[in-house]
Chain A
Amino acid sequence: MRTLLILTVAGGSVAHATLTPLVSIAGVTPDIPLIMVVLLALRRGPEFGCLTGFVTGLLQDAAGGGLIGVQAMTKAVIGFGIGVAGGRLRVSQPLVQVPGLVVLTIAEGLARFALLQVFRFPAPFGELMTYVVLPQALCNGFVGAAFVLALAWTQTLRDHFEGSRP
């Protein structure tokens, strides 16, 4: 199970860079690794969320061609934070998760921008927020909702089959 999870996280992160153009909606692409990190962190805690965030971010950086370590750091922090919050706050409800994803995407965008500024990487803030971060945040919200629904449905099915066993 763990191996499968690692393969999914690692493969998914690399696949994101390769297959992103194919899943774009009106030119806006969802950050599927971020959604994956958030959902996994909520289920498995801060350590797993942190590690998953670091690995997916690192692979995204490597596959995408930007500064390696930017997304690794932001996603590791987000994974850790969500993992911690999942244990203390009521963030397991879908109605909280989906808007949460939108907010997290914006937060990740801001963190990335800040890191890039620290390391003197040129990035126009206004345009990045208007044309990249905000549309991606909305997109992540919708895609995240689909993920959450799919997971809930899978869980219901699993419960049903386990309950029907003698």
Chain B
Amino acid sequence: MNIRKVVLLGSLVAACLLLLTLQTRGYGSTARDFFAVVTMPIQTGLAKASRATFGLWDTYIDWKNVRAENRRLRAEVQGLRVGALRVTETDDENRRLRRLLALQENLPLTTLSGEIIAREWGGWIRSLTVNRGRGDNVPRLTAVISPNGLIGRVVDVRLGVSIVQVLTDPTSIVGAHVLRTRTPGIVEGDPRGTLRFKFMARDGASIQSGDMLVTAGQGGLFPRGIPIGTVRSIDNRGAALFHYADLTPAVDFARVDEVLLVTGDSQRDRDLTAFFTTGG
């Protein structure tokens, strides 16, 4: 073996032994300080580099996770929105049905509840189709009401369904009076889909905007005191015999879903105004 190689090994081993001896004799800190000068900057640099690299990697992983989480949360939010809409819808329906049930229980009339299954809103005719018909013994001209007031009358009874003529139908006429002044008149529908109250000029001098109109109960068709609408504006025609008042219907016919059909009327003369939710 080459003597040079052995010398090299021997000197390195000797150097190591010297270092170890120095350290055990209490000179370790000097040796460590010397090597720290060499190793510390490299270690610092490497630590920073590894931290930066892994930080970048962590950021990338976080970003990927955030994206996936974002997608999942979006789907969840969408699901929750649909769920919330269903809950709101069910809640609304529940409230409406409760009001209808309360009215049905309180009214001194025999009623049959029904659900609107179709609407004819063309202008020539304004009608609703209720899921009660001949099988339910619904008579023709039955009054149809909701917790807010009068909707109209049954004009056609078929197998399983009835057609309800809505108050705003151009051919609809209902005897009514102003609740506050007792001014009598006729509520007519018109082709624009609005309601108007036709009254004699001499009787209606004191009618004001906001006055409520209810059914007069004369003629035997509608019970007395069912809200029809409120006066929106008065069309003063000067010296004409009849004046008109535009009405805001008590019932939103486009949105009503559940109704009561008044099939029996044992207390015809009783005023029913108190049983309804006035003002909308």
Which residues of A are at the interface with B, using a C-beta cutoff of 8 A?
10-11, 14-15, 17-19, 22, 46-47, 50-51, 54, 58-59, 61-63, 67-70, 72-73, 76-77, 80, 84, 115, 119-120
Could you tell me if B47 and A50 are in contact, using CB atoms closer than 8 angstroms? Answer: no
Whether the Cβ atoms of B43 and A63 lie closer than 8 Å is yes
- Answer whether residue B16 sits at the interface, using C-beta atoms and an 8 A cutoff: yes
The 4 A-B pairs of least Cβ separation, nearest first, read A62-B35, A73-B16, A69-B19, A69-B16
CA distance A61 to B23 in the complex (A): 12
> Which of B4-12, B198-206, B225-233 makes up part of the contact surface?
B4-12
| In the complex, chain B residues whose CB is within 8 Å of the CB of A14 | 39, 42-43, 46
Q: Restricting to B1-53, which residues have a CB under 8 Å from any CB of A?
A: 1, 4-5, 8-9, 12-13, 15-21, 23-24, 28, 31-32, 35-36, 38-39, 42-43, 46-47, 50
Q: Pick the contact of B32 from A50, A62, A84, A119 — CB < 8 Å? A: A62
Q: How far is the CA of A156 from the CA of B261 in the complex (A)?
A: 95
Say whether A62 contacts B39, CB under 8 Å. yes
Name the distance in Å between B15's Cβ and chain A's nearest Cβ.
8
Partner of A47 from B8, B36, B39, B54 at Cβ < 8 Å: B8
Q: Which chain B residues lie closer than 8 Å to A72 at the CB level?
A: 12, 15-16, 19
A59 and B8 contact, CB distance less than 8 A:
no
Alpha-carbon separation in the docked complex, A69 to B20 (Å) = 6
Contact in complex: B8, A50 (CB < 8 Å): yes
Q: Which residue of B lies closest to A16 (CB)?
A: B46
Residues of B within 8 A of A70 (CB): 16, 20
A84-B46 in contact (CB<8A): no
In contact, A19 and B46 (Cβ under 8 angstroms): yes
Chain A proximity mask over B114-158: 1 for CB below 8 Å, otherwise 0: 000000000000000000000000000000000000000000000
Q: Is the CB of A18 within 8 A of B9?
A: no
**Residue of B at shortest CB range from A88?**
B1
Whether the Cβ atoms of B5 and A47 lie closer than 8 Å is: yes
- Can you give 25 A-B contacts (C-beta < 8 A)? A11-B42, A11-B46, A14-B46, A19-B46, A46-B9, A50-B8, A50-B9, A50-B12, A62-B35, A62-B36, A62-B39, A67-B20, A67-B23, A68-B23, A69-B18, A69-B19, A69-B23, A70-B16, A70-B20, A72-B16, A73-B12, A73-B13, A76-B12, A77-B13, A84-B5
B19 CB to closest chain A CB (Å) equals 4
* C-alpha spacing A47/B28, complex, angstroms: 28
Closest residue to B47 on the A side, CB-wise? A18
- CA A22 to CA B32, docked complex, whole Å: 25
Q: Smallest CB–CB gap between A81 and chain B, Å?
A: 9
A54 proximity list for chain B (CB < 8 A)? 12, 15-16
A10 to B54, CA, bound (A): 23
A76 touches B16 (CB 8 A): yes
Q: A115-B20, A120-B24 are in contact. Are A68 and B32 (CB under 8 A)?
A: yes
